[in-house]
Amino acid sequence: MFQTQAQLLKELEAEGWLKTPQIIEAFSQIKREDFVLAEDKDQAYLNDVLPLGFGQTISQPLVVAFMLELLQPSPGEKILDVGSGSGWTTALFSYLVKPKGKVIALEIIKELKDFGEKNVKKYNFVKKGIAQFILGDGKLGYAKEAPYDKILVSASSPEVPPELFQQLKIEGKMVLPLQENISLIQKTSQTDYLKKEYPGFIFVPLV
């Protein structure tokens, strides 16, 4: 059964995945159909993962909603989006940090980096200097633009990548899948952090 964007948003709100008015607004303004493969456009608003090729996927909407609610992106922040894939999370972040914030989208697969950048360009975030796409290893982050207020990692890692931790501001937040848990890391000093874990999620591995 196919559904509309409005039906998906209603479902995500009713089930408690979407709560914050600004994040709900971003989900309504950034259309997931702009970030899936052409043959999957009619399935864009199903609450499901969809393939992007190269062994990668566009995350399930409820998972993206959950991770954004944990991070609470705000206007003016600088965010690192690791494993940016289709560009959907990059566009959502760009909407939430505009007009003066910045999102660095980091993707290791060139074809996906180009696909994501092309998709985000539909919203003028690249032209306005809000979103910047970098081809690189997500585990290493992007030190040139560090430190970051928030970091999202959209692929599973066995541990918190040390380079990403170093690039996070003190009091900054990182959300990443550790094995099958979504973890919220809050950096309290150069060496310490608080961690909350939310079990029951499955991600592609961080490559």
Is residue 66 within 8 A of residue 18, CB to CB? The reply is: no
Report the C-alpha gap between 24 and 129 in whole angstroms.
23
User: Considering only CA atoms, which of 40, 139, 37, 150 is closest in space to residue 92?
Assistant: 150
Q: Which residues contact 63 (CB under 8 A, 6 or more apart)?
A: 182, 201
In sequence order, what E strands does 43-94 have? 50-53, 56-58, 78-82
Report the C-alpha gap between 55 and 75 in whole angstroms.
33
The torsion region of residue 87 among left (phi > 0), alpha (psi -120 to 50) and beta comes to left
User: Considering only CA atoms, which of 81, 93, 78 is closest in space to residue 27?
Assistant: 93
Name the residue type at position 129. Answer: G
Check 28, 59, 84, 154 and give the catalytic one: 59
Beta bridge partners of 112: none
The torsion angles phi and psi of 71, rounded to 5 degrees, stand at: -80, -30
User: Is 59 a catalytic site residue?
Assistant: yes
List active site positions: 59
